[in-house]
Structure 1
């Protein structure tokens, strides 16, 4: 079994905290929740690292500028 990366370990640590915060309640739609949270953070970081340049951010993310704009709209991120 390959060792986890620091990013994977950070996600695992946060999920452990999430389960503790639930206090025994069952999670719902956990994968969608994590995907949305991670995607939002990645979009924000890409925009920060490119000083808001959407073309460069899209290239950094490996998506088209149109796709980036759709995702920004979904996450209500202004650029």
Structure 2
């Protein structure tokens, strides 16, 4: 099993538990919920691995530095 498979499995397991916990309630905005749950810790970890260097973190993430800064603002990481 690759590391990507492990991450995919973790997300799948978490979503399965989410649906079980709903106990019949109707889910909504699942896409936004998952992104919000995953994005902040990912940004925090990558920034730490890049020693706070936003240019390097953006390179590691494969996104533009301005996009990284926008996401950091959204998640109160600035």
TM-score (norm 1): 0.84
Post-superposition CA distance 1:22-45 (Å, at most 9, x none):
222111110111122222222111
Q: After TM superposition, list the pairs within 5 Å mapping 1:39-54 onto structure 2.
A: 39-54=39-54
Shift of 1:52: 1.2
Q: Runs (4+) of structure 1 moved beyond 6 Å? A: none
Q: Give the equivalent residue in structure 1 for 2:13.
A: 13
Q: Distance in 2 between matches of 1:45 and 1:7?
A: 15
Richer in helix (by share): 2
Aligned CA-pair RMSD: 1.4
Q: After TM superposition, list the pairs within 5 Å mapping 1:64-79 onto structure 2.
A: 64-78=64-78
Q: Which runs of 5+ in 2 are unaligned?
A: none
**Higher relative contact order (Cα pairs below 8 Å, separated by 6+ residues):** 1
Q: Which runs of 5+ in 1 are unaligned?
A: none
TM-score (norm 2): 0.85
Q: How many residues align?
A: 75
